[in-house]
Chains A and B, each alone.
Chain A
């Protein structure tokens, strides 16, 4: 039904052309689903956009054919293509937050697609929308009709997107990372929905994802893309159990395993250069549960009854009448040298907690004792001095570096502010050392953030956090924006640094598999409260609360299907 032949796409800027997709061949039968797997920049989204005829302006189709039901889509005019788009081929995009028009009611956005392709009255269209909303399991469909996108949760928005996509019963559905921005439990529901719809409507599905686990849940076949070409394709079960291409092997191996904890995660380069073979079980780092209190250690960080609330409603006089407790009477301890993992879904308060500890947000109540000092009640100077020992690495390496400050300056700034090293020359030496320590070179000192990739930027942010020789680092979703292969490298770096300098970490993430790999103990948060806290393996294998169990069962792991 869909046949892609020798597709070449290039990106053009003023001076040069870079190849983005080089010679893809792909065939999809009716009712079949194929997973396109690859990391950012592998050309998987571009391939999908080429099928839709929605390539960005800078992208040039060099050659190739995309044949859909005996029509070469690439030879059609944009008017002719409009009859296919939304009618026979539909697409779901990655970001449900931004993919819906914010000033248009959800019902109208779906009805628009129906009215475009079917000759029905707007009343009939609305009736269809309600039935579509029921099909995608949206609660209160009649009310949703009149809701605006910002009134819906992320998962609900993605359901509206799916309703738009299936509105005209397309025979081909393209889903581009449809669950990447969603929580695992929501992701599971959406994947089940997509699978169900595909089977009942007999649609073919192209499912694009960077996450092998997710793909293995919905796809019959999988095609692995690397640097613009398909390096391997075949049945899901074959590819994932017996990968042939070194890249596929690397991609599979660099995910933090759930059942073991190697000291060092393998990275893709190892496989591509053939330097190492898979030795998964050799160097398992066993972590014996440590009872810190028994060992008589004093906690490095002792948080009691920490509360931070935000006003939701105010009355006429500006007095708060209703508030949302982002962090609700949270108490825990972190011991020197340990890594405490903090997991929870979006909005559970984990980032607020991290920032409140650092006093980047002023908490309402509670005490935070860091090495015996009460951070909420010490003088500003004392707080400043404490900040040297307590540092944070933020989630988004793109926005946490000042774009107009060279990375050398960014790393030296904290040293200068804290008067740690007063001599400029010494600061330069130190910055160079740090850059080399995180795997960059001292020559890159005068470059600006935009010249680096996401993974490199996160290394720079880590180097900046190290600049003050801290003892305690809070990693707030530090690897969430990165590809798995890059994530493996950054996780390795964090572990190496820990071994070298004896850091204490609070590792915040929504990804339970990463947290489990990194942490000695895990703390699970929900709605501002701590649901459970305990030894990492114990939480994973014997969760005490229902919520933790749900989180674990929603994890898209390969082992569940193979």
Chain B
């Protein structure tokens, strides 16, 4: 188990390095000049050059790449002329020292803020939204899926099937607008839900920020629709498969009631494919649900990336993409461990 985890972590680090490399070269061979984007079309050449020098864009690409990796790596080389030491020094030489530090994602070209603090602000919102949406999808989906399987080919099953294919096919931008229109406009009197808003609202009178969970409801439901539909249909088919297995017959032969058989022997065995789907969705939702975040003005990581793309704010884009890929690597390791916990036949090797 520990050996397995170490192996996966090493792979994870290799993946990160690969991602960093791809991101770097992808954004550096793309046409477009961040210095010009900053200053606008009518800037004079000398100020563009000054900015380029400031951002390190005048150096050769390979040097920039090494610089980038050095910034990212938790263990890095720091030259004496480069300002103050960012972390602990573990080894000193005449002109440089080896330093342990937090990965440095650089600063936004536009706002000059640290990219890590931009992500640190946006990501918890995305995480909260994703977790809520997935939990909704999982619990409702499992219950509905089991119900559908138990009522195989009866009206309830048919209805749930139609519902789930509808849920799978509805585009999220449409679902988002529809939800906002129906629940926050047409039915606003009864639901009292806001059209849009982020995790924090500003109090009209005192001007203080406060956490407003009401803003979470609509985007979470909207975001949960598709995973919910998938969980329903997967649970249904997986459950149907499990219920025809021999050990279910054994369970009935013990004299257990239908409820006991379905929950204790059926559901536990039916979970694996559902877990795969849920975690897959969870991982992709954490990359930010751009449309839903946009429509509801939920200031998550998806919105941050899209804004940065518009402004060609390279450090923000690169930092966010890198961060998301770290999250994906970790979620995947977590899923594999979860598998082994749920199914003793899976051995982590």
The residues of A with any CB-CB pair to B shorter than 8 Å are: 52, 54, 78-79, 82-87, 90-91, 93, 95, 98-104, 112-113, 116-117, 148, 150, 161, 164, 314, 316
Contacts and interface: CB of A to CB of B under 8 A. Distances in A.
B33 interface: no
Interface of B: 3, 6-7, 245-247, 249-258, 264-265, 268-269, 342-345, 349
A124 B345 CA distance: 28
Given A103-B342, A314-B349, A98 B252 contact: no
B250 A103 contact: no
A116 B251 CA distance: 11
Contacts of B7: 316
A73 to B, nearest CB: 13
Given A150-B344, A314-B349, A101 B250 contact: yes
Overall SS of chain B's interface: helix
Given A98-B245, A316-B3, A84 B255 contact: yes
Given A84-B255, A102-B269, A104-B264, 17 more contacts: A79-B257, A82-B256, A85-B253, A91-B253, A95-B246, A98-B245, A100-B247, A101-B247, A101-B251, A101-B268, A102-B247, A103-B269, A103-B345, A104-B265, A113-B255, A116-B256, A148-B344
B265 to A, nearest CB: 5
B342 A112 contact: no
A91 B344 CA distance: 26
Nearest to A113: B254
A54 B256 contact: no
Contacts of A83: 255
Given A150-B344, A316-B7, A99 B246 contact: yes
A99 B269 contact: no
19 contacts: A79-B257, A86-B253, A91-B253, A93-B250, A95-B246, A99-B246, A99-B250, A101-B250, A101-B268, A102-B343, A104-B264, A104-B265, A104-B268, A112-B254, A112-B256, A117-B255, A148-B344, A164-B250, A316-B3
Nearest to B342: A103
B250 A148 contact: no
Contact of A100 (B3, B250, B268): B250
B246 to A, nearest CB: 4
Contact of A98 (B246, B257, B268, B343): B246
- Listed from nearest, the 4 A-B pairs whose CB atoms lie closest are A86-B255, A85-B255, A86-B254, A98-B246
B254 A164 contact: yes
A91 B249 CA distance: 10
A371 to B, nearest CB: 42
Contacts of B257: 79, 82
A164 B344 CA distance: 21
A319 to B, nearest CB: 13
Nearest to A108: B264
Contacts of A104: 264-265, 268
